[in-house]
Structure 1
Amino acid sequence: MTIFEKVNALRSLMEEKEIHAYIITSSDPHMSEYVPEYWTARQWISGFTGSAGTVVVTRKKAGLWTDSRYFLQAEKELEGSGITLFKMGIPGVPNQYQWLLSELESEANIGFDGTCFSIAQSKELKNSLADISIHINEEGDLINEIWSNRPSLPNHKIFEHPVEFAGKSRKEKLAIIRNEMHQLDAKHHFVGSLDDIAWIFNLRGQDVDFNPVAIAYALINEDSCTLYLDQSKLDDELIFSLNKDGILTSDYNQICNDLEELRGSENVLLDSNRSNLKIYRSITANIIEKENPSQLLKSQKNLTEIKGMKQAMLQDGLALTQFFCWLEENLGKTIITEFTLIDKLREFRSRQKHFMGESFGSIVAYKAHGASPHYSTTTETDCEIKAEGILLIDSGGQYMNGTTDITRTTALGELSPEDKMDFTLVLKGMIQMTLAVFPKGTRGCNIDILARQALWMYGKNYGHGTGHGVGCFLNVHEGPQSIRQELKDQAILPGMISSNEPGFYKEGAYGIRHENLILCKEKLTTKYGEFLEFDTLTLFPFDTKALDINLLSEIEKSWLNHYHQKVYDSLAPQLDEKHKAWLKNKTQAI
C-alpha cells in the first residue's frame, strides 16, 4: 500500500466507526522515544522515519507535527503523501490541538490507541478542545485493523547487568524507592517506562534497537514486587535470582487485571508522563501523580557507574582513533560512502572490550546531508565521500560499563573563511558550556545561552537542545535533566552526565556539530553557596585545521590545548605506533 492508500483505508475505518479525527503518536505503551517495530504505527501510516512526531488524520485532511531536527527529512519523506508538514516551534504554526480546534465541529469524535497515549497527553487534548465538547474514543487501535503484515512483538532474552557495573544491587535500589514511596504515603508504585525498569532491577534486554531494554511493566508494593513480561525471555537462573530478591514474575498482559484489584483506599504512585491511558483507567485506587523516583536516582550516577562511563569513553576514543586514521588513509584511494563509514564505525567499536552494540543509528552526514540534524542514510541518499567538503559524524556505543555519544565534524578539503567561522563559533559555544561554573539549583535553561552566545553574536542559531542526559549502558537519551532554552524544572546535579552539543546547519551546504559528554560535579562551597562545574568525559580530538584560530579567546585556546593533551595522554598508552603517531599529530597545540 502507498501512503495515500493507507490514509484512505484509515479514513474508511474512521467513517465506519464514526470517528472524525484519529491521532497516531510515535510512542508505545511504555511512552518510549524509540520503539520496537511493532509500534511504529506513525511511521507506517506516514512514511516519516524520524523518532519524534505525531500524525493526525481527519475525514479530509492529514498532518504531521515534528520538531526542527526533522524538518528537512520530513519534507522529503512526506512528499506526494497528501500529509501536510507542521513545523513545531515555528511562530504562527498551530500545534495539533489548535489545528483540530479549527477543523472539527462541536461534539466531534476523536480516536486514538489509549495504550500509546500518555495520561498527560490525554489531559492536554481534553483541555485544548474543551470549547467544542469533543468525545474521545481511546479503545481502538485502528492501525492494527489495516496493517496486514504488522511485525510481531520482540522476543529476545533478558540478561543481568552485574553489580560490578551497576554499582548498586536491585535490593538496594528497591529499598531507596520504597523509602520514597513511604514519604508519599504510597502503598504501591506502578512503573511503565522501560529504562526505569531496566535500571531498578539491573536487567537489560534487546527489544528496542540501540536501547538495551526489555518490554515489561513493574508493580512495586510495600513488601512485594512483580515484573510483568513475556516470561519465556527469562532463563531459570535469572528467575531464581529475581525470586531470591523478592521479585515475582507474571504475564505481560496481566498488569491491568492486577491494578484493578488494588484497594481503593490505598495510594498508587504513578508517573503521568510515562504511563499510558489504559493503565490509568485500570486503577480504581487513589493515584498520586508524580515523576518516577527512579528518574532522578538513575540520572545521578554512582561512583561505579562514573568509573565505568569513563572507561567506556576511553574504549570509544580508541575505536574512533582507529576509524578516523583508516578514513584518512583510504579517502580517495577506494570508494567510500556514508554506509561504508557506518559499517566501519561499528566494526572498530566491536573490537573493544564489553561492546554490546551501537547506542543509536550512526549519523554519517556528508556535505548538504549534514544540514538535517538527525539525517539518516538510506539506499536512495547514500553518496560517495570525497576529499572535499564537510563530514559530520554523530555516533555512539553501548558497552556493559557505559554508553557513549560523540559528534565530530571534519573538513575533508579546503574550507572557505565562512565555513571556518561557523565551525569555530560552534566550538566556542561547546567550550563555554564546558567551562561553566554555576550555583547548585541551576536549571539547564539557565546555562543554555553559553552554548549559543557566540552564534547569536553573528545572528546564527540552532533549533535543537544543547544537551540531554545519557544513561549508563542504557538509553542514550534520558531525563530528567536537559540543557535547552525551554524551561524544565530540574536542576543540573552532581553525578548527572549530559551531552554538550551545539550546532549550526546551513541548508544545501553542511551541518556542523561538536559534542562531548560532560559530568556535573562539585567545585567549591563558599559563604555564597555550593557551586558546580563540568568534567569532560569524551576522549577524541577536534579538527583544528577547520578552525579560525583568531576567533578563539586565550582561555578557549588554552582549554582546547589542555583537552587535546588529555586525549593523547589517555589514549596513547593503548595504541600501536601508527595510531599513536596519528593521534599525536591531531592533538598538537594551536
Structure 2
Amino acid sequence: MSIPEKLTNLRAKMAEKGIDAYIVPTADFHQSEYVGEYFKARKYITGFSGSAGTAVITKDEARLWTDGRYFIQAAKQLEGTTVELMKMGEPGVPELTAYLEDILKEGDTLGFDGRVVSVGEGQEYADIAAKKGAKVEYHEDLIDLIWEDRPELSKAPAFSLGIEYAGESAADKLKRTREEMEKAGANAHVLTTLDDICWTLNIRGDDIEFFPLLLSYAIIKMDCMELYVDESKLDDDIKASLAELNVNLHPYNDIYEDIRTLDENTVVMVDPSKLNYALYNNIPENVKRVEERNPAILMKAMKNPVEIENIRKAQIKDSVAHVRFMKWLKENVGKMKITEMSATEKLDELRAEMGNFIRPSFEPIASYGEHGAIVHYTSSPETDVELKEGSFFLTDTGAGFWEGSTDVTRTYALGEVTQQMKDDFTLVAISNLQLGSAKFLEGCTGMVLDILSRKPFWDRNMNFNHGTGHGVGYLLNIHEGPAGFRWRYRKGETEVLREGMVITDEPGIYIEGSHGIRLENELLCCKGEKNEYGQFMYFDAITLIPMDLDAINPDIMTAEDKKLLNDYHKKVYDTISPYLNDEEKEWLAKYTRAI
C-alpha cells in the first residue's frame, strides 16, 4: 500500500472519530529514542525511516518535522508521498506547535495516542487546543486501526547483567533511588523509561533492535517494586532474583488500570519528560504528585569504577578490531569487491573475534562518497554501492560487548582524494582534538565546552548541523542523557559534566553530492588537579583508532594541532600494538607516525 493510500485510510478514520488533526510522533510507550517494529507508526504513515521526527496529518495536508541530521534522507524518502518536509530550525519553517496553533479552529479536535506522547508534550498540545477553543482526544491509536499487518510486540527473552559487569547490585540501586524519593517527600515513583528500569534491576532484554532493552513499566515503593512486564520473557533465575528484591510481577499493560487504584496517602514522584501523557492522566486527582527528574538518569550516567574498567576493555577490543579493519580496507579496496554493507559485515566479524561480542550497539552508518553527506544514512540492498578509490568511506558503528557499548566513527581515504577533501578532513580532526583536550573547572556543562569544537568551523564561516556529542549507556541506549555537547540549549541535555560520564566527541563536514566526514571518539570525564581555584576536570579519549593520515593536510594545522594529533596517535600505538601481530604493528606504526 502506498503512502498516499495510507493517508487516505487515516483521514477516513479521522473523519469517523471527529478528529481534525492527528499527531504521529517517533516514540513508543516509554519515550524511547529508538523503538521496536511495533511502534514505528510514523514510518508507516510517512515512509520516513529516521529515528527522529513528528508527523501531523490534517484533512488536507500532511507534514513531517525532523532535524538537520535527516534533511537529505527525509527529502528523498518523502518524494511522491504528498508529505511535506519541515526542516526544523531553518529560516521560515514554523515549529510544530506554532503550526498547530495556526491551523486549529474553534470546535476542532486535535488527536494523538496519549501513550506515545510525553506529559510535557501532551500538556503543550492541550494548552494550544484550549487557546484556540479546540479539544484534545488522546485515547485513540488511529494508526493501529489501519495498520493491518502491524508487527507483534517482541517476545524475546530477558537476561541478567552480573555484578562483575554492573558493578553495583540492584538492591543498592533501589536503596539509592528510595533515598532520593524520601528527599522529595514521595513514597512511590512511577518509572516508564526502559533504560532506567533495566539499569535499576541489572537486567536487559531484546525488545528493540540493537538496544538490549526490556519493554516494562515500574512503580517503586518504599518496601517493594511493582514490575509490569511480559512474564514469559523472564527465566526462573531472573524471577528468583526479583523475588529477593520484593519485586511483584504484573502483566505489561496492567499499569494503566492499576495506577488508578493509588490511594490518597500516596505521594507519587514522576518525571513529566519521561512519562507518557495517558499514564499521567490515569493518576487519581487526589494523589499528590511530585515532579522530579528520574534519579536513575544521573546515577547511570556516572559510571562506577567496575563499569569504567569494563568500558576501557570494550574500547580496546573495538579499537583493535577497527585497526585490523582499516588495514584490510586500505589494502583491498580496488582489488576485491567491497560494498558499504559487506564492509560493515567485515567489521562486525573482526569485533566478534575479540570475544564477548553480543551485537552491534546501534544501526550501522556505512556511507561511501556522496552517501557520507547524509548524516544518518543507512545502507540497504537498494542503495548499497561498491567502495572505490578516490573518495571517503565513513563508518559510524558500535559494538555491544559484555564489557560495555561502543560508538565510534572513522572516515577513511580510499586511494588518493582531492586537496579539498583533505582540508575538510583535517578541519574535522582539529575540531575533535581541540574538544578532547579540554581542561575545565568542575561545574561546566557541555554547552560551555562546545565552542572548542565549533571555533575551527566558525572561524571559517562553517558549521555542522548536529550536536557534537552525547552520553553513552552501558549496554543500554547508545544515546544517553543528561550530559552532552551542543551549542544550543536543549532541556534535559545540559547537565554538569561529572566524573565517570562517557560522552562522544563527533564533529563533521557534509558536502551534499560529494562526501561526508565525521570523526568520533568517546571521552571519559575525569577529575584532575584540585587547588585554590577549584576542582579541575579533563577528558580521557578511550577510543584508540588512528585518524587517517592519508587525509591529513599538515599545512593547515598549527603546532598545537599537530602536537595533539601526534600525542593521540602515540597513545593509540602504545595501547593497541601489544594486541597485534608483527605485520599489524608495523602497519599501525605507519598510520600513527608523528607529523
TM-score, length-scaled by structure 1: 0.98
Contact 2:19 2:111 in 1 (8 A): yes
Please state whether the residue corresponding to 2:311 is helix, strand or coil: helix
**Equivalent in the alignment of 2:426:** 424
Distance in 1 (CA, whole Å) between partners of 2:538 and 2:166 is 24
Q: Give, in angstroms, the shift of residue 567 of structure 1.
A: 1.2
Please state whether the residue corresponding to 1:273 is helix, strand or coil: helix
Q: Give, in angstroms, the shift of residue 298 of structure 1.
A: 0.4
Q: Give, in angstroms, the shift of residue 330 of structure 1.
A: 1.9
Q: How does 1:147-158 map to 2 (within 5 A)?
A: 147-158=147-158
1:278 aligns to 2:275 (yes or no): no
**Equivalent in the alignment of 1:71:** 71
Distance in 1 (CA, whole Å) between partners of 2:326 and 2:174 is 44
Q: Give, in angstroms, the shift of residue 149 of structure 1.
A: 0.4
| Greater shift in the superposed pair: 261-270 or 10-19 | 261-270
Please state whether the residue corresponding to 2:523 is helix, strand or coil: strand
**Equivalent in the alignment of 2:56:** 56
**Equivalent in the alignment of 2:92:** 92
**Equivalent in the alignment of 1:495:** 500
Q: Give, in angstroms, the shift of residue 528 of structure 1.
A: 2.1
For 1:495, the aligned partner's letter is G
Where does the alignment leave 5 or more consecutive residues of structure 2 unmatched?
A: none
**Equivalent in the alignment of 1:102:** 102
Please state whether the residue corresponding to 2:274 is helix, strand or coil: coil
Match for residue 511 of structure 2 among 502, 506, 513: 506
Q: Give, in angstroms, the shift of residue 588 of structure 1.
A: 1.2
Post-superposition CA distance 1:272-315 (Å, at most 9, x none):
11111121012112111221000000000000011011000000
Contact 2:158 2:206 in 1 (8 A): yes
1:521 aligns to 2:526 (yes or no): yes
Distance in 2 (CA, whole Å) between partners of 1:531 and 1:92 is 43
Distance in 1 (CA, whole Å) between partners of 2:167 and 2:66 is 38
Distance in 1 (CA, whole Å) between partners of 2:180 and 2:139 is 33
Q: Give, in angstroms, the shift of residue 405 of structure 1.
A: 0.6
Please state whether the residue corresponding to 1:380 is helix, strand or coil: coil
1:331 aligns to 2:333 (yes or no): yes
Distance in 2 (CA, whole Å) between partners of 1:336 and 1:56 is 41
| Greater shift in the superposed pair: 119-128 or 177-186 | 119-128
Contact 1:97 1:129 in 2 (8 A): no
TM-score, length-scaled by structure 2: 0.97
Distance in 2 (CA, whole Å) between partners of 1:568 and 1:247 is 48
Q: Give, in angstroms, the shift of residue 435 of structure 1.
A: 1.2
Distance in 1 (CA, whole Å) between partners of 2:172 and 2:375 is 40
Match for residue 351 of structure 2 among 349, 352, 362: 349
Distance in 1 (CA, whole Å) between partners of 2:92 and 2:267 is 43
**Equivalent in the alignment of 1:290:** 292
| Greater shift in the superposed pair: 567-576 or 398-407 | 567-576
**Equivalent in the alignment of 1:219:** 219
Contact 2:105 2:133 in 1 (8 A): no
**Equivalent in the alignment of 2:121:** 121
Please state whether the residue corresponding to 1:283 is helix, strand or coil: coil
Contact 2:62 2:83 in 1 (8 A): yes
Q: How does 1:260-279 map to 2 (within 5 A)?
A: 260-279=260-279
Distance in 2 (CA, whole Å) between partners of 1:148 and 1:482 is 40
Distance in 2 (CA, whole Å) between partners of 1:534 and 1:277 is 38
Distance in 1 (CA, whole Å) between partners of 2:452 and 2:128 is 35
Distance in 1 (CA, whole Å) between partners of 2:106 and 2:97 is 14
**Equivalent in the alignment of 2:411:** 409
Distance in 1 (CA, whole Å) between partners of 2:308 and 2:479 is 17
Q: Give, in angstroms, the shift of residue 91 of structure 1.
A: 2.0
Number of equivalenced pairs? 590
1:313 aligns to 2:315 (yes or no): yes
Q: Give, in angstroms, the shift of residue 257 of structure 1.
A: 2.4
Q: Give, in angstroms, the shift of residue 525 of structure 1.
A: 1.7
Q: Give, in angstroms, the shift of residue 393 of structure 1.
A: 0.8
Q: How does 1:9-28 map to 2 (within 5 A)?
A: 9-28=9-28
Contact 2:32 2:194 in 1 (8 A): yes
Greater than 4 Å deviation, 4+ residue runs = none
Q: How does 1:125-144 map to 2 (within 5 A)?
A: 125-144=125-144
Q: Give, in angstroms, the shift of residue 2 of structure 1.
A: 0.2
| Greater shift in the superposed pair: 511-520 or 122-131 | 122-131
**Equivalent in the alignment of 1:393:** 395
Q: Give, in angstroms, the shift of residue 98 of structure 1.
A: 1.2
Distance in 2 (CA, whole Å) between partners of 1:211 and 1:218 is 19
Q: Give, in angstroms, the shift of residue 129 of structure 1.
A: 4.3
Please state whether the residue corresponding to 1:186 is helix, strand or coil: coil
For 1:60, the aligned partner's letter is D
**Equivalent in the alignment of 2:590:** 585
Distance in 1 (CA, whole Å) between partners of 2:417 and 2:346 is 26
Distance in 1 (CA, whole Å) between partners of 2:336 and 2:533 is 60
Where does the alignment leave 5 or more consecutive residues of structure 1 unmatched?
A: none
Q: Give, in angstroms, the shift of residue 248 of structure 1.
A: 2.0
Contact 2:372 2:393 in 1 (8 A): yes
Distance in 2 (CA, whole Å) between partners of 1:346 and 1:323 is 9
1:358 aligns to 2:360 (yes or no): yes
Q: How does 1:145-294 map to 2 (within 5 A)?
A: 145-284=145-284, 285-294=287-296
Contact 2:224 2:245 in 1 (8 A): no
Post-superposition CA distance 1:233-260 (Å, at most 9, x none):
0111210111112222111122122211
Q: Give, in angstroms, the shift of residue 349 of structure 1.
A: 1.2
For 1:282, the aligned partner's letter is N
**Equivalent in the alignment of 1:560:** 565
Post-superposition CA distance 1:75-105 (Å, at most 9, x none):
0000000000000011221012211222232
